[in-house]
Amino acid sequence: MDGQDIEQKITELEDQANKFHEDLKYLEAIDTLEELLVLKKEEYGTTGPEFTKTCRQLCEISNILSVFYLKKDATKQAYDILKKSEALCDNNELGKAMTYNNMACYYRRVGKLRTALKFLEQALSIESRLNKIDTQADTHLNICAVLSQLNKHALALNHAMSAVILLQEDLLFKAVNGDKKDEDDEDPIELKTKNNKDPNKDRKSVLAIAYHNMGVEQEFLRSYHAAIMSYKKAVNFAEKNLGPDNGITENLRNVYENARSELDPSFKKKKPTGKKKKGDRLRMQQDIAGEDQDLPDTIGHHEDEDKLDMEGEHDEDEVEEDEDQ
């Protein structure tokens, strides 16, 4: 093909990839973008903005697909596509942080908690360097969940509190300035879906869950009054910002009412004893992140349902995993 034919082919493939993306046909979009990447490498080399742009698109869609695979328990497919995404992140720090978050989700799903924690710490380091407040908050919550599963509840609480502070700061900034992007942002690719939702509502959902996660860790640390106050704050915030009939709000309300009846001396003369109480609370936390909710996709925020909850009950004798892949 001559130069004009290559340019035309590139334009056709870009349009085709965007259409597949809009139609949520991610496998087809990836195949098209991989073909596009080969053409751009031949035409522009690997250091120009055109090649980098397609790498970013391919990285983001690969992350979307990895979340889909993890939800279906197709862990091998998720791992394979995340390794492919990782290889595309040389000039894309934000994409690397996104990929590390989802890689942590994979390792958490297969029970390799300390490996998951290492990936999350790398992601947080990148996001801190880029001053990405919104994604830092999500990563703090993910770290909180892993630390809690490792029975490191004081550290987990610190990360939950950090997430709350960052989310409050993010929402305040957006309330004052609208949804303006920081001038230093790396020309992010806008992700399109058929169900465009208010991003502020998504962030408010995450903040409500962050208040709840604080309560879970406070309860583990036997700070029962503080835990009840955190659960109450989660409910009040969700009712005000998500609505009283929202699925997250209803689950948070159930958690608060159960905790109050079990932990508040004015509601119950006898103090509760550990295991049943904690298990009840954690099962409810799973429901909050797994039921009919309006949380955003992992892409751009890193918060698929496996990341904001704390999966399963916290075994006191957590046995770490086999060798990594």
Other Cβ atoms closer than 10 A to 317: 5
Tell me the domain boundaries of the chain. Answer: 132-179+197-314
pLDDT of residue 180: 59
Instruction: Kindly state the tokens that stand for 80.
Output: 């394979």
CB neighbour class for 308 (10 Å; exposed up to 12, middle 13-18, buried from 19): buried
Q: If you average pLDDT over residues 161-174, what whole number do you get?
A: 94
The amino acid at 56 = R
| Rg value, the chain, Cα | 21
Q: Is 256:227 a contact under the CB 8 Å cutoff?
A: no
Average confidence score pLDDT of the chain? 80
More confident residue, 16 or 289: 16
Instruction: Kindly state the tokens that stand for 150.
Output: 């490792």
Which of 296, 314, 287 is closest to 137 using CA atoms?
Answer: 296
> What does the pLDDT look like over 219-228, one tens digit per residue?
999 999 999 9
Confidence grade of residue 109 (pLDDT, cut at 50, 70, 90): very high
d(CA 5, CA 2): 5
- Whether residue 301 is predicted with pLDDT greater than 90 in this model: the reply is no
Instruction: Kindly state the tokens that stand for 180.
Output: 């303006």
d(CA 100, CA 128): 14
Which of 72, 298, 81 is closest to 193 using CA atoms?
Answer: 298
Residue ranges of the alpha helices (H) in 45-111? 49-71, 75-87, 93-109
d(CA 153, CA 166): 20
Lowest-confidence segment of 58-72, 87-101, 184-198, 298-312 by average pLDDT: 298-312
Q: Is 88:55 a contact under the CB 8 Å cutoff?
A: yes
d(CA 67, CA 120): 16
pTM given for the model = 0.77
- Whether residue 69 is predicted with pLDDT greater than 60 in this model: the reply is yes
Confidence grade of residue 199 (pLDDT, cut at 50, 70, 90): low
Q: Is 206:137 a contact under the CB 8 Å cutoff?
A: yes
pLDDT of residue 317: 37
Lowest-confidence segment of 173-177, 188-192, 241-245 by average pLDDT: 188-192
What proportion of the chain, given as a percentage, has pLDDT over 90? Answer: 60
CATH of domain 132-179+197-314: 1.25.40
d(CA 267, CA 58): 55
- Whether residue 313 is predicted with pLDDT greater than 50 in this model: the reply is no
pLDDT of residue 90: 82
